[in-house]
A and B are shown apart, each in its own frame.
Chain A
Amino acid sequence: MEQHDDLYYIEKVKSGLTNHFSYIVENYKDVVFSIALKVLKNRDEAEEMAQEVFIKVYHSLDKFRGSSKFSTWLYSVTYNHCISQVRKKKYDIRSLENVQIADEDDDFNFDGFSEEERREILESALKKLPEDDYTLVILYYYEDQTIEELARVAKLSVSNTKVKLFRARKKLHIILNEMLKEEIDSLL
């Protein structure tokens, strides 16, 4: 099947071919759902919220002018929708300050771990990150968003985004190191 970029499908939807929106949903549902699940910690509620995000995006498509990447715009809607829902429902957002960031070396090793084990450890470590850090890490490392794009998503300055991402990465390293130590201890 011929592959098209997001703009192709957006133009189709804008011209009245609503069913083309399903391509957009298929393409981004995992990222949107993962962020929603991270925030809500409940699969049913996260699925409901992810659906709401896509419906909101569909109704706002006319506002998308193409000045930024569609994915950045979509993630911005997702991020802000999730954050506003969290505030509305007064979910417990773990503060950035809850995790102590030590000034230690980033290096750690996966010696003796299989690829599958390594992936599972990293997935578990990502789940332990606070909601906003998780979103930034996924969008930057998984979705290849730039710092400037992340700044737009989180409505932060570029320098603040850099700091936030740096701190998120540090936290991920700390969590990973702790998990690796635990894994090694359990093997000994």
Chain B
Amino acid sequence: MNLAQGSIGGNTGLNIGIFLVFVAITLVVVFRASKNTKTAADYYAGGHAFTGPQNGIAISGDYLSAASFLGIAGAIALYGYDGFLYSIGFLVAWLVALLLVAELLRNTGKYTMGDVLAFRMRQRPVRAAAATSTLVVSFFYLLAQMAAAGLLVALLLGVTDKGGQAVVITIVGLLMITYVLIGGMKGTTWVQIIKAALLITGAAVITVWVLTKYGLNLSGLLGAAADAHPKGDQILNPGLQYGTDGTSKLNFLSLGLALVLGTAGLPHILMRFYTVPTAKEARRSVVWAIWLIGIFYLFTLVLGFGAAAIVGRDKIAKADPGGNAAAPMLADALGGSFLLGIISAIAFATILAVVAGLTITASASFAHDIYANIIKKGEVDDKDAEVRVARRTAVVIGILAIGGGIAANGQNVAFLVALAFAVAASANLPTILYSLFWKRFNTSGALWSIYGGLIVCVGLIVFSPAVSGNSKAMFPGADFDWFPLSNPGIVSIPVSFLLGWIGTVLSKEHDQKKYAEMEVRSLTGIGAEKAVGH
């Protein structure tokens, strides 16, 4: 995803108008949600009062970011089958969350990943580590979304100068801060629900439209896409994007690993499991999310090949070499400027909702883990103080995201998202799994795994071809790319698991009583479920 080469036209006024309607409706919803957002549980977890289906829709809203909507459809339009591979990793990953993480996490924590780790380990060091990796992952993910906002305005509104794009990034950032400050988790969740409904409906309409054009025959659509594509039949086969040489094949394997193991370590996804009252509802939310996300990715398959067949690869690549224009251009070709306006507005809404979700996660982690439990040692006198700190943190993170987004504008968006997944899979997932399932695991193991995974993962990225050594890199002039893969997961994930094990056996710390309590609570929901009635 490089900087867009040109706008794809459409009616700019209409695009903005539809987007403003979305903003107006969601603001009303957020204001209404704010009336009963008072305590920390309200602000961080929507009072644990959402139902499984509501939360499941919100999870899909959080997860289906602009990168997956525009990016995957675009990748399929340009590279065919290889784009489809992405969506499979993104979906299968949810089984890790369903089988191993969601319910146990719901039963052992309150608001953050740090809660789970701190249960039977030394509070302050593990909370600091959990907050560090949460902030790093959230920040990379935020940068990616903000950079995508810049790209999108260039594409859809024809704002091509950097100054104009910076203004739009700032507006997106300010709106997001407003949502988070006013609505807390409750308001943010409703924004996700509305956005997910719009996104999935929009994609469904275009999918049916495309399929109807080809007599509801997938094979016919694929044939038309292949005929229109310069590479012909090759787009129906794997290998067009990743099959060029040994390194690119290994790179793909590494990416596949990070995708499937990263999802259950993404902090803004983990935090969503706390918005429901019980583990059973957490399970229902993941089931809803899996169905919605799965069906959505099936739609993107049709959207991508539909764009290749109807719009044509060359036109899409000319608008944006990264292919992000594929879905909007398809909408334009089918339904004219009105449908384009709707899809553009949905794309903006997507970015807005995802950045709001990330900001609330990062601010919760700072206020709950660092402020309340490390600085104040778990004894915050004033009950409102923690929420006040969380709100201030949200403002700071929002401003950082605006600044970072303006700086990252024009950077490779897919790379930033893949980076967030790789860091989540390396720094978070091993610790979460060890903590929930391994009796012997301890503070030392957690610290080795989180910091080790984080350092190895980010370190390998710094020395990868994504950062230096070629014309597409972040610093094309510099040359220190001694690590050949731009996706570090294949090395950093096993290393993090190994470090967690080494760190654990090197330390004598082992609290049998605490582990018994954690295991019983995590499997039965004692305490966690009853607290709801109070």
Physical interaction between A and B = no
Report B's interface with A, CB cutoff 8 A: none
